[in-house]
Structure 1
Amino acid sequence: MSDSRSSDHSVRDLLRELFPDTHRELFGDEAAPEAPPTLGLYPVADGRLALVHGDQLAEFSPLDPKGRNALHCDLCHYTRSRSEASVYRVRVGARRTRYVTLCLGTQACQKRAGSRGLESLASRIFPLESSFADEH
């Protein structure tokens, strides 16, 4: 646990960033103001990914692979084969969608990209439009 290079975040860290009221109820008001906001890309069920930046959350859904050409990862900027990368769709608004190519090996990709790469990806996705339900 003394490894300061670790990019893994505890459940407690995620609760503090995503659900601050719940964190206060469970752990009291021991917020660490000097701690940087959570920033990371996390695997979720069914091959989806979640990009977390502070209290913002975006869900990336993988698209069915089409074609045979290699893909260029938008996070680590490495060129990968179709078996090593995928194209993801993320809704950023009611009528706005972004497409992002990412490596399937999420942890290794994040290590190659570093915090600067994650910040760059987050700046392309966030802020999300606040309401998808306004348009029918």
Structure 2
Amino acid sequence: MELELLSYEKENLLPGWKPYYIYLIMVDHQEVGRIVLREGSNEERYYDGHIGYTIEEAYRGHHYSKEACLLLFEIAREKGFKQLMISCSPHNIASRKIIESLPFKYLETKEVPASLKKNFDRGDYLKRIYCLDLEVL
């Protein structure tokens, strides 16, 4: 597996949004999904995380998102990240299992503040929040 940089989004962002990198998750020269590395402080990324990923339905169940996260940790270190935040909805059991199989520390389950709800899907306002210290990994 390898991560291939698709784009660095830094212009025409919505108000309050920080730049982010989009990587293709490639397996045997085939795109199986995408993973995003968002810039911003832990506080700014507390509810949506520095990392977001999606795997195409046909490729799910092969631990590709876990492997992609492990590769992204090194990229994040190279870009100067000291810690990474990640979150998931409590009912998203698949993401929760992936996150908890990685060296993230669970912090809390918390409702997204009203001022940030516009950035989340309707009804997806409760988040399990995790942090990873890249300096001790």
TM-score (norm 2): 0.28
TM-score (norm 1): 0.29
Higher relative contact order (CA 8 A, sep 6+): 2
Which structure's CA Rg is the greater one? 1
